Amino acid sequence: MTANDFVKIVRSGGDKLRVDEVVINTGTQELHGKGMLKIDRADMEIELTLNPGEAIPEFRSGIFTKSDYWKVSGLIEDYLQFRCDWASRSPGLVVRCNLRLHPIELVPSGWEAMTRKERDDIHKRHQSQSVQTTTTPKAETMEEPIDDFSFHATLFEYPLLRTAPGSEVKGETDIFEYVLTKDEATSDLYIALYSKKGCPSAGKDKDWIKFDAFMNALAFANGIHAWPYRIEYCQAGQKFTDRVTTAHKLRRSTHSPFTERLAFNAQTGDLVWNFQDAIRCAATFFEKDTPLSKEVAIILFLFREADDGVHSEITTIALCALFENLVRLLFRELNLKKTSDQTNVELFEQAKTELADYIQPKISDKGDGYRRLLNVVRSAHLYSIEQMFQALVTHFGLQWQDDMENIYTTWSRARNPLVHDKARAETTEDKLKESVKHESKIAGAINILLLKLFGYSGWLRHSALEDGYRQI
């Protein structure tokens, strides 16, 4: 069995394969055994029988973190080596246990585990000995840089915008030249990323950061999680990683910033939205790998997770919280507090301290009302969300009056009743429609702020559920 054979089985969504020479490192002991690898759409799991005399540790419940994962390695169908550093255990018998593998790493071997130079040297030796045959792999040119790196990834049935089955999209970021190809038969999306000249590998960890940056950009522009079920990573032609996980459809957001309708201006026929430009701007931002870019990536993950495709109060509450989170984050990280306000900040903090010191001694006599008042004073902020949002609007060169101010009003009207006190038993149809519009506009505001943060200018969809478009 080859790596490609294994990936085809994962793509098909179900099978059982024999695994032998299994070694488990629990962190406290090493165990050995054999079993069956079960593959379906949701999981890859080994049903393992331990060698005689070995016993699995007692199963424990509770909260598990990365340090609790087990490391597993073995052999699939007598040929394909694998490992997994993220194995988690399911309850089982003393001599048998089930281990969930997510993801699984296929260990490169043979020709693909060699560097481009090593393959070229072998080819030259074969030529000099005049024993080259038709089965000898073709040597790759040494004109390519020896410090380049690349990624190849596959996304399950990924509906990339403006990409019909069988077609390609080519472009570049600051780091990569890329080719996105829609498989005509399966609708899977193949992603090929090649480092540009002058952008050498900076080591495995930093190369992966650049890959993740591209996938975050793709997920944002397309409104769908970009989690490949296969990722291959190479340096100088040598494959270091072949990572495989289950193949399934990914969560998407109704509120993506771009749609097919942005492709052309109906009157002039001009392109009004450039997919490659949107990807480049977002990828450049995420490649910085700063605290801000990491926080934004998490917010966007939650943004997509919050939207189940059907309007609900849960989605609106989540979007209201994420909007506020984003406004506070950007206001802080972009350092939008005016230097001239430093005196006001100091006086405000001084007033808080003085009021707290005045209230604190009275709590024992005056009761819980004073305790609550003390908590309000201690948690007070000089800047309101409205002031922070207005500062962001000014910073990004957007219009406040009759534009972004309306978005703030929408957010405030939607959030406060939902979070604090809303009567739900007799909601009218008009109120439901209004709530849907609130959700859509708040999501659009998040997209506007992020696109301006990324440095994008152009058209976007600012309200998906109202099919509204605008320029920024």
From first to last of the 472 residues of the chain, give the pLDDT tens digit. Answer: 899 999 999 999 889 999 999 999 988 889 999 999 999 998 999 998 889 988 877 766 767 777 788 999 999 999 899 999 999 887 654 446 788 888 999 998 776 766 667 666 666 676 666 544 445 454 444 455 568 999 999 999 998 876 667 778 899 999 999 999 999 889 999 999 999 999 999 999 999 999 999 999 999 999 999 999 999 999 988 999 999 999 998 988 999 999 877 765 555 555 467 788 899 999 999 999 999 999 999 999 999 998 866 667 888 899 999 999 999 999 999 988 775 576 677 787 788 888 888 888 888 888 888 888 888 888 777 788 999 999 999 999 999 999 999 999 999 988 877 777 766 667 778 777 888 899 999 999 999 999 999 999 988 999 988 888 898 8
DSSP 448: H
- Which pLDDT score, from 0 to 100, does residue 380 have? 77
For the entire predicted model, the pTM comes to: 0.85
Phi first, then psi: what are they for 276, rounded to 5°?
Answer: -60, -40
Q: Comparing C-alpha atoms, which of 155, 150, 68, 81 is closest to residue 116? A: 150
Q: Is the peptide bond before 165 cis (omega within 30 degrees of 0)?
A: no
Q: For residues 233 and 228, what is the distance between their CA atoms, to the nearest angstrom?
A: 13
Using DSSP, state whether 62 is helix, strand or coil. coil
Closest CA to 34 of 73, 1, 92: 73
What tokens does 340 get?
């001239």
Half-sphere exposure of 9 (CA within 13 A, CB side): 17
Cβ(178)–Cβ(170) below 8 Å: yes
**What does the DSSP 8-state code read for residue 307?**
-
Q: Could you tell me where the DSSP H helices lie in 223-361?
A: 275-287, 291-306, 313-333, 342-359
